[in-house]
């Protein structure tokens, strides 16, 4: 597929099988990522790109994955107008597990896929590339949530005023930081191995772990979970 970079994303555990996920990136790191899944880490299958409709439908589904890409879930239609259109052919609306899988990966990447500040730079033309001059965060900076960004299309950044943006560097501060994540307290920051590794874990998507070795280029995140969002988090904090 001519990827410039491939990383192992993690795995989603189903009742009858486990999906191992890999992501491929092209020249522009901010562009849509290609995602592949496998059951044995030898044979890989390309997933279709996630659409907003897929993500909206996947958010309606609850419960574990089955581990079968062809399994079909019945969707509950809330809007009566949508229901009329969907039931015209006499069939109930369904969603295949393969579509739910790619939509869940997209949700996790948007919500908790993170990178250290300065790891990527935005060119004047708008493309995003890996920063070759990035030498890692200091231990002091690595323990702050403000030092980490969501590696997804920014939402909160657009709402900031020009005065708030005055101190930001447009080449590195073009993503949303973790400090304003809702609910507050959805991240845990831990220093391990005597201060040589900083580990962030998401309490919203249990199973997402990010690590960074301060003063080095070593960082990354991986997800090992069931693909279910922790809706009980606000009551746990």
Q: Which two tokens stand for residue 102?
A: 């790619």
Q: Report the distance separating Cα 223 and Cα 18, nearest Å.
A: 12
The pLDDT value recorded for residue 91 is 63
Question: Residue 57: CB partners within 8 Å, gap ≥ 6?
Answer: 75, 95, 99, 100, 103
Q: In DSSP terms, which residues pair with 199 in a beta bridge?
A: 190, 211
Question: Residue 24: phi, psi to the nearest 5?
Answer: -115, 135
pLDDT tens figures, 50-64:
889 999 999 888 889
pLDDT tens figures, 112-128:
888 898 888 888 777 78
Work out the mean pLDDT of the chain and round it to a whole number: 83
Q: Report the distance separating Cα 30 and Cα 140, nearest Å.
A: 28
Q: Is 194 left (phi over 0), alpha (psi -120 to 50) or beta?
A: left
pLDDT tens figures, 42-96:
999 999 998 899 999 998 888 899 999 999 988 876 555 555 555 555 566 888 9
Percent over 90 (pLDDT), the chain:
32
Percent over 70 (pLDDT), the chain:
85
Q: Is 99 left (phi over 0), alpha (psi -120 to 50) or beta?
A: alpha
* Cα end-to-end distance, the chain, whole Å: 44
Of the segments 84-88, 192-196, 225-229, which one has the largest average pLDDT value?
225-229
Per DSSP, the chain holds a count of helices (H) and strands (E) of 7, 14
pLDDT tens figures, 151-179:
887 776 555 555 555 556 556 666 778 88
Please report which confidence band the pLDDT of residue 222 belongs to, taking 50, 70 and 90 as the band edges: very high
DSSP string, 100-117: HHHHHHHHHHHHH-EEET
The pLDDT value recorded for residue 120 is 83
* Burial annotation 40-71 (CB, 10 A radius, 16+ → b, else e): eeeebeebeebeeebbebbeebeeebbbebeb
The pLDDT value recorded for residue 19 is 94
* pTM listed for this prediction: 0.83
Q: Report the distance separating Cα 237 and Cα 232, nearest Å.
A: 9
What is the enclosing helix (H) or strand (E) of 98?
Answer: helix 97-112
Please report which confidence band the pLDDT of residue 200 belongs to, taking 50, 70 and 90 as the band edges: very high
The pLDDT value recorded for residue 179 is 83
The average pLDDT across 29-47 equals 88
Q: In DSSP terms, which residues pair with 116 in a beta bridge?
A: 148
């Amino acid at each position: 597929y001519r990827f410039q970079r491939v990383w192992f994303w993690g795995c989603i555990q189903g009742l009858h099988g486990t999906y191992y996920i890999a992501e491929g990136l092209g020249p522009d790191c901010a562009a849509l990522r290609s995602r592949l899944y496998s059951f044995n880490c030898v044979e890989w299958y390309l997933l279709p790109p996630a659409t907003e409709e897929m993500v909206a439908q996947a958010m309606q589904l609850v419960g574990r994955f089955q581990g079968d890409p062809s399994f079909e879930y019945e969707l509950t239609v809330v809007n009566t107008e949508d229901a009329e259109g969907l039931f015209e052919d006499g069939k109930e609306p369904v969603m295949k597990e393969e579509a739910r899988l790619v939509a869940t990966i997209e949700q996790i990447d948007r919500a908790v896929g993170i990178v250290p500040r300065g790891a990527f730079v935005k060119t004047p033309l708008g493309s995003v590339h890996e920063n070759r001059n990035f030498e890692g965060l200091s231990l002091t900076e690595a323990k702050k949530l403000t030092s980490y960004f969501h590696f997804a299309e920014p939402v909160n950044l657009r709402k900031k005023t020009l005065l708030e943006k005055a101190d930001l560097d447009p080449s590195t501060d073009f993503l949303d930081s973790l400090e304003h994540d809702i609910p507050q307290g959805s991240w845990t920051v831990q220093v391990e191995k005597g201060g040589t590794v900083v580990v962030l874990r998401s309490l919203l998507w249990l199973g997402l772990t990010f690590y960074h070795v301060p003063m080095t280029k070593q960082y990354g995140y991986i997800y090992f979970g069931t693909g279910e969002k922790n809706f009980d988090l606000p009551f746990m904090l």
